[in-house]
Amino acid sequence: MTREHPFESFHFCPRCGSGHFVIHDEKSKRCETCGFVYYFNPSAATVALITNRRDELLVCRRAKEPAKGTLDLPGGFCDCFETGEEGVAREVKEETGLTVTDASFLFSLPNTYRYSDFLVHTVDMFFRCHVADELRIQAMDDADEVFWMPKENIVPSLFGLDSIRTGIEKWLLGK
């Protein structure tokens, strides 16, 4: 995970555009012109851990940067006004065509995600998901390929994103 603070990317006040946007404390910047204080908080993201009847894990191959071509799990950013459970269900549907029937929160991990040369800080929420029809998977949206991988064949280092690797290691250890 990259430790770059988001302060480095914001030089102008988002309210008035002033260049007098200075560090206020370890979590915020304050505009000396209009007084606006902006707190830098992470974006919510979801990750789905889905297994089939043979105890194989549903795995994707990333179609886009970052980490294009590496292994991944279904998931993505939550939309505004969406719960984590709704977000993970939507992302699974968008990337695999599968309908989530149950999503149970497992754990969360901090992460950074570089998008359009901008470092986005996230809290990745991992969910154990059950799906309606595991036989109807198809790669869509951010997934170039979707397939079932036997647990014994899972190699965390083949997954391109830091939090996904850590999450898979944690899941495999049953933590």
Q: Would you give per-residue pLDDT tens digits along the chain (175 residues)?
A: 556 666 777 889 999 999 999 999 888 999 999 999 999 889 999 999 999 999 999 999 998 888 889 999 999 999 999 999 999 999 999 999 999 999 999 999 999 888 777 788 899 999 999 999 877 888 878 889 999 999 999 999 999 999 999 999 999 988 5
Say which amino acid occupies 55: D
- Integer Cα distance of 82 and 28 in angstroms: 25
Residues in a beta bridge with 39: 28
At 136 the pLDDT is 84
Q: Are 30 and 22 in contact (CB under 8 A)?
A: yes
**What per-residue confidence (pLDDT) applies to 19?**
94
Q: Which residues share a beta bridge with 43?
A: 122
Task: Give the closest residue to 112 by CA, choosing from 14, 40, 29.
Answer: 40
For residue 66, cis peptide bond before it (omega within 30 degrees of 0): yes
pLDDT at 122: 92
Q: What is the pTM of this model?
A: 0.86
The pLDDT, as a whole number, for residue 129 is 97
For residue 5, the model assigns a pLDDT of 67
Side chain identity at residue 128, one-letter code: R
> Class of 43-172 per CATH?
alpha beta
What token pair was written down for 35? 């007084």
Task: Return the domain boundaries, the chain.
Answer: 10-39, 43-172
